[in-house]
Amino acid sequence: MYKTVFDTPIIKPFLQPIARSLFKLNGWKIVDRSTGSKKYILIGAPHTSNWDFPMFLLIMMELNLKAYWLGKHTLFNWPFGALFHWLGGLPVDRTRSTNIVQQCVDYFAAEDALIIANTPEGTRSRVDRWKTGFYHIATGAGIPIALGYLDYRKKEGGIAGLFQPTGDIDADMKTIKAFYRNVSGKHSHRYDKT
Q: What is the pTM of this model?
A: 0.88
pLDDT tens, residue order, the chain (194 aa) = 778 999 888 888 888 999 999 999 999 999 999 887 899 999 998 867 888 889 999 999 999 999 999 888 888 999 999 999 999 999 887 666 568 898 899 999 999 999 999 988 754 454 567 889 999 999 999 999 999 999 999 999 999 999 999 999 999 999 999 999 888 777 554 445 55
- Residues 35 and 75: their CA atoms lie apart, in Å, by 32
pLDDT at 131: 84
- Residues 143 and 44: their CA atoms lie apart, in Å, by 16
pLDDT at 12: 84
The overall longest dimension of the chain from CA atoms, in Å, is 46
pLDDT at 191: 47
Going by C-beta distance under 8 Å and a sequence separation of 6 or more, which residues neighbour residue 52? 44, 119, 124, 150, 185, 186
**What sections of 48-185 are H helices per DSSP?**
52-62, 81-86, 100-110, 133-141, 169-180
